[in-house]
Amino acid sequence: MELLADCVDSFAYQLLFNAFAFVLGAAVGSFLNVCIYRLPRELSVNRPRRSFCPVCKQPIPWQQNLPLISWLVLRGRCANCGGKIAFRYLVVELVSALLFLAIWQSFPWQIAITYWVFVSLVIVGTFVDLEHFIIPNQVTIGGIAAGVLASFAVPELMGSDSRIAAVVRSVLAAALGYLTLLFVLEAGKVAFGKKRIRLDAPAPFTWTRQGDDAEFVVGSERSLWSDYFAREKDQLLLRCDEAKIDHRSFGNTTLDFHYDRVAVEGEVIALDEVAQISGVVRELQIPREAMGRGDLKFLAAIGAFLGWRAVLFSIFAGSLLGSLVGLVTLLVGKRVWSAKLPFGPYLAFGAVSWMFFGETFLRWYLGLLNPH
Ligand SMILES: [Zn+2]
């Protein structure tokens, strides 16, 4: 009888702790939503203290700001103005709650707490990157610092029992993350083409709309317009001897392209309204630096928390998922310029997969290498 009572007790305890982890995750998710909205807009995350409706800017009373429940009860609308509250708010709260619970169930409590901090940073980084194509420094640089601190506090994170060794490993893994991705991106740049291409002789070019994309031909080089743009801020400069945008002609001029628009002589024209651009180009310039170093610092933060193997795995798993998504969007024919996803969310996917399944994956992989 006593044994049974003990069992019921421990079951009740577990249930209580699991419920606590889930609710804590949802509440943290609610705060992460505030960060996702405010960080890229450079608003303070604690002032104003109270959440406000993004449409009518009215403060939201606490009873309408309960994680998960409020969104569902109000069906994603502001109680004051009826404005739409993005589905993202519900998704972030639910994902946070589920990850907090899964972490609690999978790891000893000291590690679980550091992983809670880690997934919070990853969630903010992912959703800001999806909406704004940047990852805020609070997440990346803050994440590196938090990861090194966490490794000092819980050396088991780095598979060590010495605090000093754990800190060194964490810092090295962060450096590895930054440098590996830097190398991959630079190598990609070389494979992709030089940043500044001065043509031997001025060459004719045409830009012809094709559905959601466009065909871009310089001399005899044929390419897809969308291949030139990975990020919203990417630019392409064409220095032309002459240019023609639909029926308008320009002399010696520079066309300054973004994926969706072209600026010429102080005027901005949306590419949606253009059928054809042609002319003679003498230099093509791709200022890639506009890309920012967000991804690199993000992977460094992943390394600082999860170690060097997680760095390599995140690149591997992220690229794999990226190619799959690219293939699927290509197959269903939804290849829109702006639909190109940033790399941050893929890295996040790789990191979280590693957190839960890294050990299993390694064992499986080593088994493949040494079959008995
Ligand atoms: Zn409102």
pLDDT in tens, 343-354: 889 999 999 999
Residues with CB under 5 A from ligand 1 (ion): 53, 55-56, 78, 80-81, 83
pLDDT in tens, 2-20: 677 777 788 888 899 999 9
List of residues 6+ apart from 198 with CB closer than 8 A: 282, 283
Q: What is residue 190's predicted lDDT score, i.e. its pLDDT?
A: 53
Return the higher-pLDDT residue of 230 and 174. 174
Q: How far is the CA of 89 from the centre of ligand 1 (A)?
A: 14
**Angle, helix 137-153 to helix 294-306, in steps of 10 degrees:** 10
Going through the chain in order, the beta strands assigned E by DSSP cover 196-210, 213-218, 221-224, 236-245, 248-250, 253-258, 261-264, 267-270, 276-285
Q: What is residue 338's predicted lDDT score, i.e. its pLDDT?
A: 36
Q: What is residue 312's predicted lDDT score, i.e. its pLDDT?
A: 94
CA distances from 117 to 110, 165, 172, 304, 327 (A): 11, 21, 20, 13, 33
User: Which pair of tokens denotes residue 39?
Assistant: 């960080």
User: Which pair of tokens denotes residue 241?
Assistant: 């001897």
Q: How far is the CA of 81 from the centre of ligand 1 (A)?
A: 4
The mean pLDDT value for 322-331 works out to 76
Q: What is the 3-state secondary structure (H, E, C) of 123-165?
A: HHHHHHHHHHCCCCHHHHHHHHHHHHHHHHHCHHHHCCCCHHH
Token pair 């590690």 in the structure block, residue: 111
Q: What is residue 235's predicted lDDT score, i.e. its pLDDT?
A: 80
pLDDT in tens, 43-99: 888 777 788 888 888 888 888 888 999 899 988 899 889 888 889 999 999 999 999
The mean pLDDT value for 204-210 works out to 91
Q: How far is the CA of 56 from the centre of ligand 1 (A)?
A: 4
pLDDT in tens, 122-170: 999 999 988 877 899 999 999 999 999 999 999 999 999 999 999 999 9
Spell 40-72 as b/e; 16+ CB within 10 A means b.
beeeeeeeeeebebeeeeeebeeebeebbebbe
Q: What is residue 287's predicted lDDT score, i.e. its pLDDT?
A: 57
Q: What is residue 305's predicted lDDT score, i.e. its pLDDT?
A: 97
pLDDT in tens, 248-300: 999 999 999 888 899 998 899 998 889 999 999 988 876 554 345 788 999 99
Q: How far is CA 142 from the centre of its chain?
A: 16
Q: How far is the CA of 70 from the centre of ligand 1 (A)?
A: 14
Q: What is residue 1's predicted lDDT score, i.e. its pLDDT?
A: 62
**107: β partners:** none
Spell 238-260 as b/e; 16+ CB within 10 A means b.
bbbeebebeeeeeeebebbbbbe
Would you call 92 helix, strand, or coil by DSSP? Answer: helix
- Between β-strands 196-210 and 213-218, what pairing exists: parallel, antiparallel or unpaired? antiparallel
- The whole-chain average pLDDT of the chain stands at 86
Residue 234 has pLDDT above 80, yes or no: no
Amino acid at 272: D
Share of residues in the chain with pLDDT > 70 (%): 90
Residue 26's pLDDT band (boundaries 50, 70, 90)? very high
Residue 372's pLDDT band (boundaries 50, 70, 90)? low
Q: How far is the CA of 42 from the centre of ligand 1 (A)?
A: 21
Asked if 59 and 52 count as a contact pair (C-beta separation under 8 A), the reply is: yes
Asked if 305 and 118 count as a contact pair (C-beta separation under 8 A), the reply is: yes
Return the higher-pLDDT residue of 167 and 320. 167
Q: How far is the CA of 84 from the centre of ligand 1 (A)?
A: 8
